Amino acid sequence: MRKAIVGILAVLSGPALAQPVVIAALGDSLTQGYGLPQEEGFVPQLESWLRGRGADVQILNAGVSGDTTAGGLSRAAWTLTPDVDAMIVTLGGNDLLRGIDPAVSRANLDGILQAAAQADVQVLLVGMQAPGNYGPEYKAAFDAMYSDLAAQYGTLYAPNFFEGMGPEGTDPAAVRDFMQADGIHPNADGVVQIVQGLGPDVLDLIAEIPEG
């Protein structure tokens, strides 16, 4: 009887009870899946893509439509619960829409990365590119803050959330079929392209998570 109990305990404590890697996706409507059925949003599609490549992973949807970097900062601490192993940060689009000073956005992102560092959580920081209508100085400051902060904190960095649809400067007409009617948010097919672009970076993020 004793041997049977020991055997059961050995099974229960073995690989069968291995927990999936938990990644929090902190972001705005692009992360949240605005305008799409739940299963077609960024988080479910990314999780499916990763699992299809052998990753035992759970992605938590911490996207809030309309959120700025300030909103993300206000949520960072309670998003980083003890079960979270890593975080994808995709914020800044709404800062652009509001014309917020890049120095303010940078400080907010800095605070998010500080919170992640304090929680000992690995991060993939996903950048955005500012349009030219705010002027070259604004664009230069905004675009550079992501790579600068990634280098400062030693986080992984993906230059553009929309990279899977084409590099910066891609003719908008070329991606029209991948966008919703508002021209801002991707449709389900667009999310497929985005996930294919960002997926390898997330696999790299998973590889950086310490075992155990």
Return the CATH number at 73: 3.40.50.1110
Quick one: CA torsion of 69, 73, 78, 80, rounded to 10 degrees?
80
Provide the residue range defining the domain that includes 92: 18-208
* pLDDT for 7: 45
Write down the catalytic residue from 74, 110, 182, 189.
182
Question: Does residue 8 lie within any of the structural domains?
Answer: no
Residue 122 lies in a domain: yes
Does any domain span residue 43?
yes
* Structural domain contains residue 149: yes
The angle at the Cα of 14, spanning 46 to 25, to the nearest 5 degrees, equals 20
5 domain residue, yes or no: no
Query: Could you read off the pLDDT of 20-65 as tens digits, one per residue?
Result: 999 999 999 999 999 999 999 999 999 999 999 999 999 999 999 9
Q: In total, how many domains does the chain have?
A: 1
Examine residue 7 and state whether it is found in any structural domain, yes or no. Answer: no
For residue 97, tell me if it sits in a domain. yes
Catalytic residue among 13, 28, 29, 105: 29
Kindly report the pTM of this predicted structure: 0.89
Q: What is the pLDDT of residues 147-194, one digit of tens each?
A: 999 999 999 999 999 999 877 666 666 788 999 999 899 999 999 999
| pLDDT for position 3 | 44
185 carries an active-site annotation? yes
User: Predicted confidence band at 208 (pLDDT cuts at 50, 70, 90)?
Assistant: very high
Whether 204 is covered by a domain: the verdict is: yes
122: number of Cβ within 10 Å: 23
Provide the mean pLDDT of the chain: 91
Q: Which two tokens stand for residue 116?
A: 């992640």
Which position has the token pair 């590119």?
129
